[in-house]
Structure formats: C-alpha cells, structure tokens
C-alpha cells in the first residue's frame, strides 16, 4: 500500500471525523476545582508600628510578575516602605522570596535571547526593596531557589542557572539594595539569620535535595539542619524553603483516580513527579526532616514554603512536625486549594503573608490578598490573621500548635 495513496478527499474526510471525535473525547469531563470557604473574620488587629520590632514578609512563586503589572509586588513594596519608615532599627524588615523567582527556567546566560526577560522578572522583585526607606533602613531580601530557578533540571546545569541569578542579585546588592540568594548556588543550606534575639530564620534549598542523588550529601544536609536547630537554643525557628512541608494544593494531595485521565497515578508511582509531596523523594525529605526535628527536640514554629500557587495556613500534624505550615506561593500564579482537615485557612488569590514580631514577644501572622473582583484597581487587604506566639508575660502564654 502506497502512503501517497492515502491522501484522497475521502480519507481526508475520515481524518477530519477522527479529529472531531478525538477533541470531543479529550475535553469531556474537565471541571474546575473549587476552593474551600473560610471565615475571614480577623482575630488579630493590625499592630501599631511602635509595638513592632521586626517584620518578615513572605511571597513565593513571583517569577512571572513584572513590576509594571503586578499589584502583589507593588503592595509588598508599599508594605516594606511603611514598616521601614516606622521601625527605627536597621534590618528590621525582611522579605523572603520563596523560590521560583524567575519563570520558566531561571536566569539563562547573558548570551541567551531570553536573558533580558529573565533578568527583568528578577529585578521586578528586587524593586520591592528599592524604595528610599527600605534602602535607608537596609530592608533585606532573602531569595530562595525554587525548582524553576534550577531551570527545572538538576546537576551542574541547574547550579549554573542559580549562579546567574545570584550574580544579578549581587549586582543589586552592590547598588545598595540588600538582596542575595540563600543558600548559595549548589549549597543546600541551612543558612541561618537571627532576625531578633528570640527568632531564628533557617533557609534551605529543597530542590537541591530533590535532585540530589548522593546519599552521603543528603545525610550531611540533615546533620547541618539538626545542628542549626540545636544551636537555636530557646529561639523560635522559622524554616524557609521553596517546597512546603504540607499543602492542600495540587502538589500536596493524592490525585484522585479520575483526574488527569488517570496518568497522575502512574507518574507519581514511578517517581516521575518528584515535586509532589507524595513522591518517594519528597516523602523521604519530610521523614528525615521530622527525624531532625525530633532529635533536636525543637520543631520549628513555622515551616514556610511556596510551590503551590495559593495562600494556605495549615496545622502541623505530628508531635515534632512544625507547629504551623504556611504556603505562600501566590506571587504571580494561582492554583486551587482543596478542603483538608489540617487546613486553618486558604485563599487561591494573589497575595503574600506577614510575620509580625512584636516588642512584647508575640508573633502574629497576617495573610494579605491583592485581588480585585470588580475590575477596580487591586489593593492589599488583610484577609486572615492569627497569633502564633503569645507574649511571654500573658496569662495564657502559648505557642500555636502546642495546646494553644
């Protein structure tokens, strides 16, 4: 049979019929996921500035945002300026960019045609810390690496992408904007920063672990995590990473068999989707992290990640798991959230989170969305708040998750 013989009007008509049938089958049964509803009443009032000692703002997955068009970045910048002006102490305002700072594949080489776009996306986030008060008060930007910053790859190629990003941040730093990539390219961390006498921030590169094939390197990483936890003493520890400890978003839930035509199960079972919490590598990461928390006897106050493109506040589930798990990955993309038992709050809306450290020792969490439902200009709005740590001298001094 000649292939040329296939090309006839009759057969073309059949091919057309096949195509129509295929499209009908392919798109049947697709339905959008729904987000759970929450009571948005605020439990904590916005603090008067003179009661605040330090502020840590948390935003992730902002790598598709541009300064000109992103209300999230502009809202963040306004908040950085607000606090930098009012807190009379240097380095009291910190912004943690929780990875996936540059979509789709990190910062490519200068010779690449996409370098200008990549660098513009990164500098849009650097701009958050470029205001006059932020510069004057040395407001600090911690940039963490996400899987997209690694170029969605592994090994030396991924580390090279991180080096490109670090070089741009170093240049901004030299220009007077206090930013940097933490941990350094190719290093898993943890990098430690004590933002207050009793608060330690630990930054780790979770993608390093997910792509690392060397058992000895992984073991050394967890030894360092344990050491950093033990040396924290009585400080509260806040762990920052790109990948969350838990999530009710697409990366965190077992996929129902009917979703994604059933291929999700096969991909997860064969370890092809390492970025999901239930993949073998990710599961190992969480188990060994829990073990480190248990050995140190000091589970973190909060584990903060991005990766899923929503705002989530979740309970820690185990005796030594983090008291609170936060997902703040709605910097430039959005994904759905499902209702789960450990979910305290969730919003699949663009925005960020704030940890407010008060002078009286209290630690408060605020969730801010920057969304517009009626086409009007989006403005930041606090949609959720709660006290993570009560003041030490309060009648019922507690840490959220330990009986508080």
33 sits near another protein (criterion: CB under 8 A): no
Phi, psi of 132 (to 5 degrees): -65, -45
263 sits near another protein (criterion: CB under 8 A): yes
> Residue written as tokens 């936890």?
229
* Interface residue with another protein, options 7, 11, 46, 136 (CB under 8 A): 11
7 sits near another protein (criterion: CB under 8 A): no
Question: Based on CB atoms, which residue is closest to another protein, 108 or 242?
Answer: 242
Residues that contact another protein, how many (by CB under 8 A):
42
Q: How many CB atoms lie within 10 A of CB 121?
A: 23
Provide the minimum distance between the beta carbon of 371 and another protein in the complex, in angstroms, as a whole number: 21
Provide the minimum distance between the beta carbon of 26 and another protein in the complex, in angstroms, as a whole number: 6
CB-side neighbour CA atoms (13 Å) of 289 = 23
160 sits near another protein (criterion: CB under 8 A): no
Lookup: tokens for 40: 């948005």
270 sits near another protein (criterion: CB under 8 A): yes
* Interface residue with another protein, options 19, 34, 116, 120 (CB under 8 A): 19
51 sits near another protein (criterion: CB under 8 A): no
280 sits near another protein (criterion: CB under 8 A): yes
Which residues inside 221-250 make contact with another protein, applying CB under 8 A?
Answer: 250
* Interface residue with another protein, options 33, 34, 254, 272 (CB under 8 A): 272
Q: Could you tell me which residues come within 8 angstroms of residue 329 by beta carbon, excluding any fewer than 6 positions away?
A: 60, 61, 98, 100, 244, 249, 305, 306, 307, 308, 309, 310
254 sits near another protein (criterion: CB under 8 A): no
* Interface residue with another protein, options 7, 34, 266, 339 (CB under 8 A): 266
Query: 85 to each of 56, 79, 225, 346, 382, how far by Cα in Å?
Result: 15, 10, 35, 31, 20
Residue 243 and residue 282 in contact, taking contact as beta carbons nearer than 8 Å:
yes
Query: 340 to each of 122, 161, 313, how far by Cα in Å?
Result: 34, 36, 11
Q: Which stretch binds another protein (CB under 8 A): 39-47, 269-277, 343-351, 382-390?
A: 269-277
Query: 86 to each of 49, 77, 136, how far by Cα in Å?
Result: 6, 14, 12
3-state secondary structure of 375: coil
Q: Which stretch binds another protein (CB under 8 A): 16-24, 121-129, 311-319, 361-369?
A: 16-24
Provide the minimum distance between the beta carbon of 210 and another protein in the complex, in angstroms, as a whole number: 8
Query: 274 to each of 240, 269, 321, 343, how far by Cα in Å?
Result: 19, 10, 21, 23
Beta strands across the sheet bearing 178-181: 178-181, 140-143, 93-97, 52-59, 351-358, 363-369, 381-389
212 sits near another protein (criterion: CB under 8 A): no
Q: Could you tell me which residues come within 8 angstroms of residue 359 by beta carbon, excluding any fewer than 6 positions away?
A: 51, 52, 53
Question: Based on CB atoms, which residue is closest to another protein, 79 or 149?
Answer: 149
Q: How many CB atoms lie within 10 A of CB 189?
A: 24
Which residues inside 93-152 make contact with another protein, applying CB under 8 A?
Answer: 147-148, 152
Tell me whether residue 214 is exposed, middle or buried, using C-beta atoms within 10 angstroms of its C-beta: 0 to 12, 13 to 18, 19 or more.
exposed
CA 212 to the chain's CA centroid: 20
Provide the minimum distance between the beta carbon of 29 and another protein in the complex, in angstroms, as a whole number: 12
* Interface residue with another protein, options 7, 22, 120, 257 (CB under 8 A): 22
17 sits near another protein (criterion: CB under 8 A): yes
Give the whole-angstrom CA distance, residue 182 versus residue 27.
43
Provide the minimum distance between the beta carbon of 156 and another protein in the complex, in angstroms, as a whole number: 12
21 sits near another protein (criterion: CB under 8 A): yes
Provide the minimum distance between the beta carbon of 147 and another protein in the complex, in angstroms, as a whole number: 6
* Interface residue with another protein, options 264, 277, 363, 370 (CB under 8 A): 264
Nearest-10 crossing angle of helices 215-231, 280-296 = 30
Question: Based on CB atoms, which residue is closest to another protein, 350 or 401?
Answer: 350
Question: Based on CB atoms, which residue is closest to another protein, 213 or 403?
Answer: 213
**Which residues of this chain interact with another protein, rule CB under 8 A?**
1, 9-15, 17-19, 21-22, 25-26, 147-148, 152-155, 210-211, 250-251, 255, 259-261, 263-264, 266-267, 269-276, 280
């Amino acid at each position: 049979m000649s292939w040329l013989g296939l090309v006839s009007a009759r057969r073309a008509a059949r091919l057309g019929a096949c195509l129509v049938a295929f499209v009908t089958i392919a798109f049947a049964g697709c339905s959008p996921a729904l987000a759970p509803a929450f009571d948005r009443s605020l439990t904590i009032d916005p603090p008067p500035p003179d009661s605040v000692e330090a502020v840590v703002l948390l935003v992730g997955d902002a790598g598709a945002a541009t300064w000109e068009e992103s209300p999230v970045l502009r809202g963040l910048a306004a908040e950085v300026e607000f606090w930098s002006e009012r807190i009379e102490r240097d380095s009291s305002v910190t912004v943690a960019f929780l990875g996936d700072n540059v979509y789709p594949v990190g910062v490519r080489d200068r010779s690449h045609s996409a370098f200008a776009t990549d660098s513009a996306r990164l500098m849009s986030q650097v701009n958050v810390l470029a205001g006059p008060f932020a510069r004057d008060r040395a407001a600090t930007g911690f940039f963490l690496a996400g899987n997209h910053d690694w170029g969605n790859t592994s090994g030396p190629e991924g580390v090279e992408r991180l080096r490109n990003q670090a070089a741009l941040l170093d240049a901004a730093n030299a220009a007077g904007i206090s930013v940097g990539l933490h941990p350094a390219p190719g290093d898993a961390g943890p990098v430690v920063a004590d933002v207050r006498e009793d608060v330690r921030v630990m930054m780790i590169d979770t993608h390093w672990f997910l792509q690392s094939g060397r058992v000895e390197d992984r073991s050394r990483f967890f030894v360092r995590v344990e050491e950093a936890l033990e040396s924290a003493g009585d400080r509260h520890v806040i762990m920052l990473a790109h990948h969350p400890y838990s999530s009710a978003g697409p990366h965190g839930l077992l996929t129902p068999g009917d979703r994604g035509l059933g291929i999700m199960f096969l991909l997860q079972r064969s370890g092809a989707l390492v970025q999901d919490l239930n993949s073998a590598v990710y599961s190992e990461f969480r188990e060994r992290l829990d073990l480190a928390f248990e050995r140190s006897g000091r589970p973190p106050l909060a584990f903060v990640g991005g990766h899923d493109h929503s705002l989530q506040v979740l309970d820690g589930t185990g005796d030594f798991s983090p008291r609170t798990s936060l997902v703040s990955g709605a910097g430039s993309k959005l994904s759905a959230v499902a209702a789960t038992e450990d979910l305290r709050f969730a919003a699949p809306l663009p925005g960020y989170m704030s940890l407010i450290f008060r002078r009286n020792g209290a630690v408060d969490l605020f969730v801010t969305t920057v969304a517009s439902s009626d086409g009007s200009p989006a403005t930041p709005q606090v949609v959720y708040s709660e006290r993570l740590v009560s003041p030490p001298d309060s009648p019922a001094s507690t840490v959220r998750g330990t009986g508080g």
